[in-house]
Structure 1
Amino acid sequence: MSQYYEGIGRRKEASARVRIYFREAGQTEALAFTVNDKPVEEYFPRFGDYQTLIGPLETSGLMGKVDVTVLVQGGGITGQTSAVRLGLARALVKYDENLRTPLRGGEHLTRDARVKERKKPGLKRARKAPTYTKR
């Protein structure tokens, strides 16, 4: 397992480095998908997160043919999940440029640029104003 393809994914404050390794002929063990040296089911136990993560693999038809290792840091669970998905899609495109069209069609290559808006002076949050009092 020396040759790998790498992709970087980001979302909100989360950043993920995803590496995909292609299996040699004859390897039959289950798909190795590790996040920060833990199995993916242990790191992302929420319902639906695993389906989000393997979306690019299912779209490209490489499910079960690659091993995936991820280093992710920062942000929360949702941001990390989306960062890993984007990083995985980018790594697959580095492997085979022909996968770009189906991955883009599945919206796996679109970076979600929404981030938290900064707090403004005189307001409680970005847009919430203090309660108006007449007297």
Structure 2
Amino acid sequence: MSDNTVTDLADLGALAGGAVAADTAAPAAVVPAAPTMPLREKQIDAQGRAYATGRRKNAVARVWIKPGSGKVIVNGRDQAVYFARPTLRLVINQPFQVADRVDQYDVICTVKGGGLSGQAGAVKHGIAQALTRFEPVLRSAVKAAGFLTRDPRVVERKKYGRAKARRSFQFSKR
């Protein structure tokens, strides 16, 4: 071993310049080991479901997830019927792919407001939130993928004296 190797607090004190003996030093504070349980706890209702609200643009989705076969029901219809475009279905299933939980949870959600793209983003946000409430261990993976952050972009309002939010009326020289 080299001279600068620190194995305990006494060695650290000796390296710092103060000759602190291990038996004369004040007792070191006991540092607890890393928690074995997650810092957050499961948030499940009486039916065994986790609930979350997802938002994107003007769309708001109320999402419930429970263990199951991977069925996704949106406003009483299957996801393939409600979100006909495959890209929107891909967006919805992203949180499960990141968390490696594909076809392990059933999703029931109601969504309103906005267009189909905004609604798909809202459902994705709600699924990610509900997944972290059902399994708090997955929070770091889902958060790293950016699914817990609400996309704040909304359509800018129309201003008076303008054709749209920023577009001017057509200019006529004569």
TM-score for the superposition, normalised by structure 1: 0.89
| Distance across 2 between alignment mates of 1:38 and 1:120 | 38
Q: Which has the higher contact order (CA 8 A, sep 6+)?
A: 1
* In 1, Cα distance between equivalents of 2:118 and 2:161: 29
Tell me by how many angstroms 1:132 deviates. 2.7
Matched, 1:122 2:161: yes
- Tell me the secondary structure at the aligned position of residue 86 of structure 2: coil
For structure 1, the residue ranges without an aligned partner over 5 or more in a row are 24-29
- Spell out, residue by residue over 1:77-107, the C-alpha distance to the aligned partner (whole angstroms, 9 max, x if none): 0010000000000001111222121112212
Partner of 1:74: 113
1:1-40 equivalences in 2 (<5 Å): 2-23=47-68, 30-40=69-79
Distance 2:70 2:140 in 1: 25
Kindly state the Cα deviation for residue 120 of structure 1 after the two structures are TM-superposed: 1.0
> Among the aligned pairs, what percent are the same residue?
36
Structure 2: state its 5+ residue gaps: 1-45
SS at match of 2:172: coil
Distance in 2, matches of 1:73 and 1:114, equals 17
Q: Give the Å deviation of 1:63.
A: 1.2
Q: CA deviation at 1:65?
A: 1.4
> Would you identify which runs of 4 or more consecutive aligned residues in structure 1 move more than 4 Å?
none
- What's the RMSD between the two structures over aligned residues? 1.5
User: Is the partner of 2:150 in helix, strand or coil?
Assistant: coil
The size of the alignment, in residue pairs, is: 129
Q: Relative to total residues, which structure has the larger strand share, 1 or 2?
A: 1
Q: Give the alignment's TM-score, normalised by structure 2.
A: 0.70
Amino acid at match of 2:54: G
**1:46-65 pair list within 5 angstroms:** 46-65=85-104
